[in-house]
Amino acid sequence: MEFHKIAYEVSYRKVKYPRLEFKTGELLLVLPPGYDQGELLKKHRSWISKKTEFIKQCLRDFSDKKIVERADQEFKDLLDVSIDEASKQLGVKVNKIYLRKMKSKWASCSLKRNLTVNRLMKHLPDYLVEYIIFHEVAHIIEKRHNDKFWELISKQFNNYNKLERDLFIYWFKIHS
């Protein structure tokens, strides 16, 4: 892959450190004002190329994925069951659950143990909803995506890499 052919956007913000994002499938450079984007691109060339190839592969594989159509109440019931099961398995308690449309993620867990769930999750198969909920409830125990966190996830979902890939594919499928 020729690196100079990868399209990207630049966003200058009041951030301390530069970062690269692929949240919507397009490369976004988030930079402090005046930061040299060329150095960042050179430094992370290999990662950008691998991620770009991964996205292309996911886009090729998304045609066989089926979007689920379920009623709001059916989705809320699935969430309740999934949260109860994950909470019991992990020995933690979730405080509140919020449903809203989110631009760049399926769900999040706050320090106050509140779960915010993307309304678009209702179009995912049950196994992915259950995985996302377990993933977020696990953040009550371990806040970051570090080795300890993934060890916790792998006890319940030893195929979490495949599930993460499926989520990526569904993100594109639902947003297309």
* pLDDT tens track for 140-150: 999 999 999 99
- The total number of structural domains in the chain stands at 2
User: What pLDDT is attached to residue 25?
Assistant: 72
Residues 165 and 117 in one domain: yes
Single out the residue of 146, 153, 150, 147 nearest to residue 89, CA to CA.
153
Residues 60 and 20 in one domain: yes
Single out the residue of 31, 36, 35 nearest to residue 21, CA to CA.
31
9 or 136: which leads in pLDDT: 136
What's the CA gap between 138 and 132, in Å, rounded? 10
What's the CA gap between 38 and 31, in Å, rounded? 11
Residue 115 φ then ψ, to 5°:
-100, 130
Residues 45 and 124 in one domain: no
The domain of 41 spans 3-64
Stated as kind and residue range, the H or E segment containing 172 is helix 160-175
* pLDDT tens track for 48-100: 988 888 888 877 777 778 899 999 999 999 999 999 999 999 999 999 999 99
